Amino acid sequence: MADDSVYEWRAVKGFCLSGLFWGAVSVLIGLFISIQMWKPELNIGPFLTFGRLRAVHTNGLAFGFAVAEIFALSYYMVQRLTRRRLLFPKLAVVQLYIFNAAILVAALSLLAGFTKSKEYAELEWPLSIGVVILWVMFAVNIFGTIIKRKEEQMYITLWYLIATVIGVAVVYIVNNLSIPVSLTKSYSIYAGVNDANVEWWYGHNAVGFVFTTPILAMFYYFLPKSTGLPIFSHRLSIVAFWSLVFAYLWTGAHHLVYTPLPDWIQTVGIAFTMFLIAPSWGSVVNGYYTMGGNWDKMKSNYLTKFFIIGITFYGLQTLQGPTQGLRVVSQLVHYTDWVIGHVHMGTMGWVAMTVGASMYYVIPRIYDTEIYSIKLADTHFWLVLIGQLIFSISMWILGIQQGSMWKAISPDTGSLTYTFMEQVTANYPYWKVRTLGGAIFTVGLCVFAFNIVMTIVQAKKNQASAAAAGGR
Amino acid sequence: MAGSIYKKPILFAIVVTFTVLSGSIVMMLLPMMSDSMHPKLSTLKPYTPLQLAGRDVYQENGCFYCHTQTVRPLKAEVMRYGEYSKAGEFAYDQPFLWGSRRIGPDIAREGGKYNDDWHYKHFNDPRAMFADSNMPAYGWLKDYTLDPQGMEKRMKALSFPCTPADLQALAGKTKLDALVAYMQTLGSAVPRKAEAAMIAQGEKNPLAGNADAISDGRKLFETNCSACHGINAKGGIGPNLENNEWLHARSDETFFSIIANGTTAGQELEGGKKTKGGMPSWHETLDKKKIWSLVSYIRSLKGK
Ligand code: HEM
Ligand code: HEM
């Protein structure tokens, strides 16, 4: 069943487990910085202060976790969908080693304070070059394998993978251009307002091509695979795909509402942001209709609920995001914890949920065994769901409170109602609740990791006993 | 035709590339080519080596994950932080450091708001000044001295003017000194907002000697002023207000306007006193009644 002779699974296995490891480390750091928010004594300078650890958390999850799983699951899906072995299996294995070395160095360099300090583009220039090299290796294998495919038609998943490879390459290279001063220090080649515009053109599309398109690729592949139901509408997939890939690049300015960025850029950005609801919901609707009359699978098939709840959070995320882009909403929630609630609904509810379920599907197949425990998978599901809801909901309430306190002007005297410190003091209960949500999520993630590791252990045992029975 | 592109990966990739580039060109590349994205205020100066070193320290320590540097043109925001940010203020910022979170306040207008002593004390131990602050302590920055040669390279990379005298000025300076110098440059290209006149000329304190006002004033003093003027106004970063003969001889109006408008260095006050600066303005956060209560409270300390 694992077809080791036909397919190349070493890199898939390696990237799955690497991503799991870096994901666990980064989530623990997330938990730690969430405690630093209400227990500032835990900031131990220079290395363990919030300003440095936060970058390790975000980069660790975007690059160490998400990108590793994108590599892993793309290599799995591309081989299945082209019905052939990865074109350059050795290259993929070399890529795995370089990747892990790069992530380790990246984490240490951020702790040491080496940072370009543009969000999601913090890594200093030698590491940025490393990222580009890794991405080229990925692109060569994905394109090579697709070009030499044995199945004529390219399935939806492959469209999204191609878009991912191209989209990330374009935005990453342009935004990371810098003037090196030494190995550990460089300055952006762009300045001021222009730098801000380039950065958020990049930043929004880092979300678009790391946390959206490759995850949709997984969704379109693994939902039908694990339920046995074909995707509802091919035509809807086509429309949703092209409009998404088109519109994403226009919207970065919604991160810069009311800043000195020229007004027309903000306005056009906001208009396209509203338009993005359509292609996003195209995929959501396609997912729901694929379930058609088979909603009983939510119960009977343990993976279905991960995908359906995942796409539901994607749907909520893509309604909330455009709303945040509107000027009236932005003036209230921009810079507040509301956005942190938005971020974590997307990452914990959509990305981590979909990736987790995809791994449950893939790991038993490439190790030629069954999942260790469906009960544990269910436990994992409920823990990460509850953890994420507590996290997001507490941050949304807090965000609105912050925005309201900042802008409150008392009507009779005309002066500001609250000092900044009064607003800070009001944060603490919510920040503690967030840590509770994060802790529940982390326990869920540990259950997941345990389940995956035990599945592999079980596979190794089975192989050993099969070999013994074979008398070899 | 409709389906054939899904059988031709190279064609497909080319079409995707153009689709991705369309928005990128209109929203990112074309603006970059136009002057409107590169404005510069005539009052804006490039960073000195010391200030740039401070900016690097700001980057290294991720201060921008907690502090923004853009004041939005919204009423409450301008009241809280000062004049809203102009595009031309950031021409020398590579990278820009506007930030996306306000765990701490915006500091686009930090320059001149407090004096250097305040910043040293605050970086050393933010919680000694505001018990509820969650800002990390940065006193350890004073253990790192600056490297003039390294700074020269950095100044060159950015093509900022840099004289040998500028570099000599770095000798013996620490990262903490640099950070404080950077704080004092923030927002300095834009003149401070004109102060609002809240009271009429010669107006007298309507709450003078009022017991309720004195007790309100004490509370306000403890939350807003003690960090600088010390417990019971015995002095610290700001002068002693208790046995302050000059102050207690002033008119209500002068007293009020010092608190409402703050001071900048080199103003001449009633009675010929020259200011050193560093007293923040309070008219946006404290209304008239509160400021008069503070005056009553401070006056009640005289001779205690
Ligand atoms: C135990 C779970 C987690 C905890 C406790 C946690 C905590 C945090 C905290 C405290 C912040 C800083 C918020 C602020 O600036 O106010 C943050 C930011 C962030 N986290 Fe997490 N996190 C968790 C899981 C995740 C996961 C699974 C992902 C991604 C896959 C993620 C991605 C991010 C990103 C992208 C940001 C930056 C948000 C922004 O700049 O607006 N986090 N997280
Ligand atoms: C139609 C889709 C979406 C739109 C229009 C959208 C819109 C927005 C907007 C306007 C902001 C800025 C909020 C502010 O700072 O005031 C934001 C922040 C963010 N969104 Fe979304 N969002 C969408 C989907 C997603 C998805 C699927 C994710 C996946 C995880 C995501 C992750 C993030 C992150 C990480 C940030 C924080 C950026 C930062 O400040 O560092 N978004 N989004």
* Confidence (pLDDT) at A1: 45
CB distance B101–A143 less than 8 Å? Answer: no
Question: Which A residues in the span 294-313 are in contact with B, Cβ-Cβ below 8 Å?
Answer: none
Pick the ligand that lies closest to the CA of residue A333.
2
- Contact predicate B97/A116, CB 8 Å: no
The residue type of B260 is: A
Give the predicted TM-score (pTM) of the model. 0.91
Q: For residue A170, list its beta bridge partners.
A: none
B291 pLDDT more than 90: yes
pLDDT of residue A471: 57
- Containing A63, the helix (H) or strand (E) segment is none
Q: How far, in Å, CA of B12 to CA of A241, rounded?
A: 12
Contact yes or no for A196 and B98 at CB 8 A = yes
* Residue pair A131/A202 in contact by the 8 Å Cβ criterion: no
Which ligand 1 atom is at minimum distance from the Cα of A31? Answer: 5
- Phi-psi category of residue A299: left, alpha or beta, with phi > 0 → left and psi -120 to 50 → alpha: alpha
Among B160, B35, B166, which Cα is nearest to B94's?
Answer: B160
Pairwise CA distance, residues A175 & A117, whole Å = 12
Confidence of residue B276 (pLDDT cuts 50, 70, 90): confident
Q: How far is residue A295's CA from residue A313's CA, in Å, rounded to a whole number?
A: 18
| Ligand closest to CA A250 | 2
Q: Please tell me the number of the ligand nearest to residue A25's CA.
A: 1
CB contact under 8 A, A339 and B72: no
Beta carbon of A291 within 6 Å of any ligand 2 atom: no
| Ligand 2 site-directed mutation target among A61, A164, A204, most atoms within 8 Å of CB | A204
Greater model confidence, A172 or B281: A172
Chain A, residues 404-433, CB within 8 A of chain B, namely 406-410, 413-416, 419-421, 424-425, 428
Q: Provide the pLDDT confidence category of residue B29 given band limits of 50, 70 and 90.
A: very high
- As beta bridge partners, residue A44 has A48
The reply to whether omega before A262 is within 30° of 0 (cis) is: no
Calculate what percentage of chain B has a pLDDT beyond 70: 97
Domain regions of chain A by residue span: 2-459
Give the C-alpha distances (Å, rounded to integers) separating A116 from A109, A205, B94, B185.
Answer: 11, 18, 10, 21
A364 lines ligand 1 (CB under 6 A): no
* Tokens coding A215: 């995850």
Q: Express each pLDDT in A336-384 by its tens digit.
A: 999 999 999 999 999 999 999 999 999 999 999 999 999 999 999 999 9
B199 and chain A in contact, CB less than 8 A:
no
pLDDT digits (tens, 9 = 90+) for A61-95: 999 999 999 999 999 999 999 999 999 999 999 99
Q: Which amino acid is at B104?
A: G
pLDDT of residue A22: 98
Query: Would you give the distance in Å from CA B297 to the centre of its chain?
Result: 28
Answer whether residue B198 shows pLDDT above 60: yes
Instruction: Over range B297-303, report the average pLDDT.
Output: 87
Cβ–ligand 2 contact at A118 (below 6 Å):
no
B32 reaches A (C-beta below 8 A): yes
Most A CBs within 10 Å, among B26, B65, B199, to test the A interface: B65
Pairwise CA distance, residues A265 & A288, whole Å: 35
Distances (CA, A) of A85 to B74, B116, B191, B267: 58, 65, 66, 79
A61 close to A441: Cβ distance less than 8 angstroms = no
A109 Rama sector, left if φ>0, alpha if ψ -120 to 50, beta otherwise = alpha
For residue A20, which phi and psi values (nearest 5 degrees)?
-60, -45
Q: Which residues from chain B sit within 8 angstroms of residue A413, using beta carbons?
A: 287-289
Q: What is the largest CA-CA distance in chain B?
A: 95
Chain A touched by B11 (CB under 8 Å) = no
CB contact (8 A) between residue B132 and residue A269: no
Burial class (CB in 10 A: 0-12, 13-18, 19+), B63: buried
Average pLDDT score over chain B: 91
Q: Which residues contact B237 (CB under 8 A, 6 or more apart)?
A: B114, B115, B117, B118, B121, B227, B228, B229, B278
For residue range A256-312, list pLDDT tens digits in order.
Answer: 999 999 999 999 999 999 999 999 999 999 999 999 888 999 999 999 999 999 999
d(C-alpha B36, C-alpha A264), whole Å: 11
pLDDT at B31 over 90: yes
In terms of phi and psi (left: phi > 0; alpha: psi -120 to 50; beta: otherwise), the region of A361 is alpha
Q: Tell me: domain A2-459, CATH 1.20.210.10, correct?
A: yes
* Contact predicate B229/B247, CB 8 Å: no
Report d(CA B100, CA B66) in Å as an integer. Answer: 8
The verdict on B19 touching A (C-beta cutoff 8 Å) is yes
Gap between the Cα atoms of B259 and B295, Å rounded: 9
Q: How long a stretch of residues is chain B?
A: 304
pLDDT-derived band at B1 (thresholds 50, 70, 90) equals very low
DSSP secondary structure letters along A370-422 = --S-HHHHHHHHHHHHHHHHHHHHHHHHHHHHHHHHHH-B-TTT-SBSS-HHH
Residues of chain A with pLDDT under 50: 1, 472
Lookup: tokens for B149: 């040669």
Mutant choice from B5, B8, B27 vs A, greatest count of A C-beta within 10 A: B27
Do A91 and A143 contact (CB within 8 A), yes or no?
no
The Cα A318–Cα A312 span in angstroms is 10
Under the banding of pLDDT at 50, 70 and 90, the label for residue B2 is: low
Q: Kindly tell me if the per-residue pLDDT of B195 is higher than 70.
A: no
Residue B304's pLDDT is: 62
Q: What's the first-to-final CA gap in chain A, in angstroms?
A: 21
* Ligand 2 centroid distance, CA of A262 (Å): 21
d(CA A117, CA B54): 14
- B253 by DSSP, 3-state: which? helix
Output helix, strand, coil percentages for chain B, rounded to the nearest 5. Answer: 50, 0, 50
Tell me if B80 sits within 8 A of A416, measured CB to CB: yes
Query: How far is CA A96 from each of CA A18, A68, A135, A200, B302, rounded to the nearest angstrom?
Result: 9, 9, 12, 29, 74
d(CA A324, CA A342): 9
The answer to whether B68 touches B98, Cβ cutoff 8 Å, is: yes
**B163–chain A Cβ distance below 8 A for any pair:** no
Judge: B287–A414 Cβ closer than 8 Å, yes or no: yes
pLDDT, tens digit (0-9, with 9 covering 90-100), for B168-183: 999 999 999 999 999 9
Q: What is the pLDDT of residues B48-91, one digit of tens each?
A: 999 999 999 999 999 999 999 999 999 999 999 999 999 999 99
Closest CA to A59 of A127, A126, A12: A127
